[in-house]
């Protein structure tokens, strides 16, 4: 079985590379824009056909939430049009598309209970809207697919909130972080492990649909930062909570986007790690890599 991974140089893509080391590594073709431009429908079709791809894992996305407000056309191209290209190409090969989506498809409504998979999408900005359009493109194509919505992704790779706050809390005497946006951090390696196990056991077959995955638990960005600093031993920074309107932005971020994970746990029998446990693992690895 040949598996195409797009966006392979991002956080989740790199974590999937780790997973492939313990499985059928030769089955995976890891690509980023240099190897495959997924906005080019013909290039995608050739890649899928020439390599007899049975499964695509799409980790590619336009993820700069603020910049998307000024770059809506390209965000739509990458988050929706390119997804349609992947869906149509793998459908022609009678294969399956695994696509990564986001909690940002929610947010406009004042939710106070975890969001379920069948809940109506109400995005608050261009990023969330284009990701929702990507999901809709998959549905319209009729391809066999699994969509994993996730949230607050971090890892040892690239730029992310954890790495930024590790730096800031170790160098700044004071720091303000918003406390009125609530969700759940997700360690990208945990999500990659889940996807990898589903693939290796071929449990993606006959289990098509939308699934939510984040780590267990709930926190604000302020709580998240406090825990990052505590685990790292950065105890000299005075971290204070603040309202989100103290940091003006072109987009309104979801104030509550906790994901209900009942469906994925029941369908695949998985146990989801608690967010602080995974955070400790990630920070330990980051520090080990710096040594």
Convert the pLDDT of each residue in 60-108 to its tens digit. 999 999 999 999 999 999 999 999 999 999 999 999 999 999 999 998 8
Domain range holding 62?
2-158+185-216+258-273
pLDDT at 109: 73
pLDDT at 108: 81
Domain count, the chain: 1
Long-range contacts from 166-170, C-beta under 8 angstroms, 24+ separation: 166/228, 166/232, 166/234, 166/283, 166/286, 168/237, 169/225, 169/228, 169/229, 169/232, 169/234, 169/237, 169/239, 170/232, 170/234, 170/237
Indicate whether 60 belongs to any domain. Answer: yes
Distance, CA of 104 to CA of 259 (rounded, Å): 11
pLDDT at 107: 84
Indicate whether 178 belongs to any domain. Answer: no
CB distance 107 to 131 below 8 Å: no
Positions marked catalytic: 127
Distance, CA of 26 to CA of 20 (rounded, Å): 8
pLDDT at 266: 98
pLDDT at 263: 98
pLDDT at 253: 87
CB distance 275 to 216 below 8 Å: yes
Indicate whether 111 belongs to any domain. Answer: yes
pTM of the predicted model as reported, rounded to 2 decimal places = 0.97
The CATH number of the domain where 263 resides is what?
3.40.50.720
Stretches where the chain sits below pLDDT 70 are: 110
Indicate whether 128 belongs to any domain. Answer: yes
pLDDT at 250: 83
Burial zone of 43 (CB within 10 Å; 0-12 exposed, 13-18 middle, 19+ buried): middle
Q: Containing H/E element for 257?
A: none
């Amino acid at each position: 079985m040949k598996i195409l991974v797009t966006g392979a140089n991002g956080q989740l893509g790199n974590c999937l590379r780790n997973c492939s080391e313990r499985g059928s590594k030769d089955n995976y073709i890891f690509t980023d824009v240099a190897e495959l431009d997924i906005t080019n429908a013909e290039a995608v079709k050739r890649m899928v056909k020439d390599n007899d791809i049975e499964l695509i894992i799409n980790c590619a996305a336009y993820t700069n939430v603020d910049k998307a407000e000024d770059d809506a056309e390209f965000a739509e191209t990458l988050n929706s049009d390119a997804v349609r290209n992947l869906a149509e190409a793998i459908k022609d090969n009678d294969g399956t598309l695994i696509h990564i989506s986001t909690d940002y498809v929610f947010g406009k409504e004042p939710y106070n209970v975890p969001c379920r998979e069948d809940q109506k999408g109400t995005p608050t900005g261009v990023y969330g809207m284009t990701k929702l359009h990507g999901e809709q493109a998959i549905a319209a194509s009729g391809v066999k697919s699994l969509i994993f919505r996730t949230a607050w992704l971090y890892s040892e790779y690239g730029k992310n909130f954890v790495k930024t706050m590790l730096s800031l809390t170790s160098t700044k005497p004071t720091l303000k972080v918003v406390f009125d946006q609530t969700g759940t951090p997700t360690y990208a390696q945990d999500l990659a492990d889940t996807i990898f196990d589903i693939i290796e056991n071929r449990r993606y077959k006959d289990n098509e649909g939308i699934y939510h995955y984040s780590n267990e638990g709930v926190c604000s960005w302020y709580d998240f930062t406090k825990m990052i600093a505590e685990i790292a031993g950065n105890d000299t920074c005075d971290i204070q909570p603040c309202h989100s309107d103290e940091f003006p932005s072109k987009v309104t971020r979801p104030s509550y986007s906790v994901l209900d994970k009942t469906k994925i746990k029941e369908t695949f029998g998985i146990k989801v790690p608690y967010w602080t446990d995974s955070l400790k693992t990630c920070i330990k690895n980051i520090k080990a890599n710096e040594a």
